[in-house]
Structure 1
Amino acid sequence: MITEVSAVNFRQNLGDMLTQVQYRHDSIVINKDGKPVAALVDAELFARIRRMRERFDALSDRIVKAYSDVPVEEGLAEIDAAVAKERRSKR
């Protein structure tokens, strides 16, 4: 379950919210001035997010290296063509 709380409420109830995250594996979104600024998630989920981020960064690096010799305009044209083709196939 995802709970949204204000920063003030979060400060006042930190202990309870840590328990909620640790034992119920809930997530808490902390809002400041009505806008989300942070999230409290259990350590296992955070570790998964971190691994996914590392894999995404590694994949991004591989793509950059693979296309390093392709002129920017040519690369953008190729991306635009692929996006257009995918959009046509979904109609």
Structure 2
Amino acid sequence: MITQVSAVNFRQNLGEMLNQVQYRNDSIVIHKDGKPVAALVDAELFARIRRMRERFDALSGRIAAAYADVPMEQGLAEIDAAVAAERKQP
């Protein structure tokens, strides 16, 4: 479950919200002036997110290296063509 709270409410109820995250595996989105500014998630989920980001960064680096010699216009055209072809599939 994802709970949305204001920063003031979060500060006032920190202990209870830590329990929500730790024991119920909830996530809490903290808003300031009506805008989301932070999220509190359990440590296991955070570790998974970090691993996924590391893998994504490594993959992005490999793709960037593979296309380093391709002119930007050509690369963008290839991406647009691939996206269009994928969207046409049922």
Name the TM-score, length of structure 2 as normaliser. 0.95
Residue correspondences, number:
90
Could you tell me the percent identity over the aligned residues? Answer: 83
- Which residue of 2 is the match for residue 68 of structure 1? 68
In the aligned structure 1, how far is the partner of 2:88 from the partner of 2:43? Answer: 42
> Offset of 1:57 from its aligned partner?
0.2
Matched, 1:29 2:12: no
Match runs of 1:1-91 below 5 Å: 1-90=1-90
Q: Summarize deviations over 1:19-67 as a string: whole Å, max 9, x none.
A: 1111111100001111111000000000000000000000000000011
Structure 1 segments (4+ residues) deviating >4 Å = none
Q: Which runs of 5+ in 2 are unaligned?
A: none
For structure 1, list consecutive stretches of 5 or more residues without a partner in the other structure: none
Q: Matched residues in 2 for 1:66 and 1:79: separation?
A: 14
Coordinate RMSD, CA, aligned: 0.9
TM-score (norm 1): 0.94
Between the aligned partners of 1:30 and 1:53, the Cα distance in structure 2 is 22
